[in-house]
Amino acid sequence: MTDNNETLVIQPHGKLEKKVALITGSGRGIGRAIALKLASEGARVVVNDLDPDTGDAVAAEIAEAGGDAIAINGSVTEEAFPERFVQGALEAFGGIDIIVNNAGYTWDATIGKMTDDMFQAMLDVHLVAPFRILRAASEPIRIMAKKEASEGHEVFRKIVNISSIAGLYGNAGQASYSSAKASLLGLTRTLCKEWGRYKVNVNAVAFGLIETRLTQPIEEEQKTIEVEGRAIKVGVQPSLLDTMARTIPLGRAGHPQEAADAVYLFCAPESNYISGQMLVCGGGLLM
């Protein structure tokens, strides 16, 4: 695994050699770390980011290391995006083996101050977008699985939906985000049952406190990110970060590379008989 100061190394004959992995929101932070982790194990990666320059940069980083990657950028909430994402992977690499629904952000407020737009935006990016992407992939997966079964081959595919401990236990100020992430578990377990016959393992990873730009300490002036024309405040008060870190048994926030490792567990062949599960990657934090 790499961070911004390390060199990506593609493992010869890695465990994901020639697998095709589609990862939303993979231009920065956890998503980028996931893309590099899967690429290091030989996966051919379809990168995605809202910012085309950022997504293209990650795809170029993988290609420069000797891997295979393309970028299909844009908002996962656009109605036409899921079909474009799936078809782009099929046209470039001829298959789909792994889908990681990672794209997302937080837009917080207590319920009395939360608008309909704020609530719906969180549902759209964290729940509706994964649903649409998986729906777009359903027919290609069915066709590939049917062909493999007729040839006597057992080929496993992997879906990893990214949730949060906020979806498991709730979090003050995050009624919308928590609701979407909780609902994602229902989608995960339903598709586990629908797609088992196609040899698809459908699991979820719930992150605790991971160091990203969304969880950076708020300094004198709170930073914002732009999402589809909206300026969204990001960051956490340093005092709250310190309190959260003290409640984590391992004593600190997680790194993006450690978050990516948790996702990789559900992408590796060792997870072929694991489906419908939620793994918490939070340093032992159980709220």
Which of the residues are catalytic? 177
**Unique residue bearing structure tokens 């926030």:** 253
Contact yes or no for 196/206 (Cβ under 8 A): no
Q: In the block, which residue shows the tokens 């793994």?
A: 279
Paired tokens of 209? 């406190």
CB 19 within 8 A of CB 97: yes
